[in-house]
Amino acid sequence: MTDHRKIAVVTGGSRGIGRAICARLGRMGCFVWVNYVSRSDAAEKTIELVKQAGGQGQTVQFDVADFDQVQSAFKSIVAESGSVDIVINNAGITRDGLVARMKEADWDAVLDTNLKGAFACAKAALKPMMKNRWGRIVNISSIVGYSGNGGQVNYAAAKAGMVGLTKSLAREFASRKITVNCVAPGYIVTEMTQELDDAVKEKMLSEIPLAALGEAEDVAAAVEYLVSDQAGYVTGQTIHVNGGMYM
């Protein structure tokens, strides 16, 4: 059993934005369950960062696209930690391609992980949150869910769907003091963006009023606010972290 720290579950917490969110929750004193699918070594590295930040944590392996795995994992988390107070639906994949060439399997894989996964995790967490009459769910959407993007029809649809999911959940569970919000990152420095050539980076920067790519910590800061007591009167909203690229 953990102590009276807030219990947080972060999906896709082994790297990138998810890792930064886990570290920020650790700094807030949370016990962080770091979800991963295949990179146990990366997830353990995240746990080290959580502990360095002042929190505690443990890794948990499950595929958010598998509804039964999600239900089983959350039951185990509640059994061991006593509750789930915070859920960050961050896990996401891409299977980019133009519609004319996109396979049905590519559509299904992205929607299952990015959208159904958020639904499954929220559903699994709501029972303990309702029992406690307190909870925070934050869905990590994307600027692409608002602006669209050629070659990413599956990803854009899933991320836009997360916004509707967020608003509906917020309305359903507000009476139980459970808030549900979104953070929509723009172009964030990740392993993927670091590999882009200079010409592509320059084009990206020209479209951002602040003329800089965001950092994973910028997204984590928005999440920190939304899960804090200071955001208790904020629900059904999206915070855009994109340097002004989408307004």
Angstrom distance (rounded) from CA 106 to CA 134:
37
Which tokens in the block code for residue 219? 């997204």
Residue 155 falls in the annotated catalytic set:
yes
Q: Are 180 and 88 contacting, i.e. CB atoms less than 8 angstroms apart? A: no
Query: In what order do the strands lie in the sheet containing 7-10?
Result: 56-61, 31-36, 7-10, 86-89, 135-140, 178-185, 238-241
Q: What is the dihedral of CA 130, 133, 136, 141, to 10 degrees?
A: 40
Which tokens in the block code for residue 60? 């948990």
The CA-based diameter of the chain, rounded to the nearest angstrom, is: 53
Which tokens in the block code for residue 121? 């995790």
Angstrom distance (rounded) from CA 226 to CA 203:
32
Which of 155, 187, 233, 246 is catalytic? The answer is 155
Listed in sequence order, the DSSP H helices in the chain are 16-27, 40-52, 67-81, 104-111, 117-132, 144-147, 153-173, 191-194, 198-206, 216-227
Which residues are catalytic, by number? 155
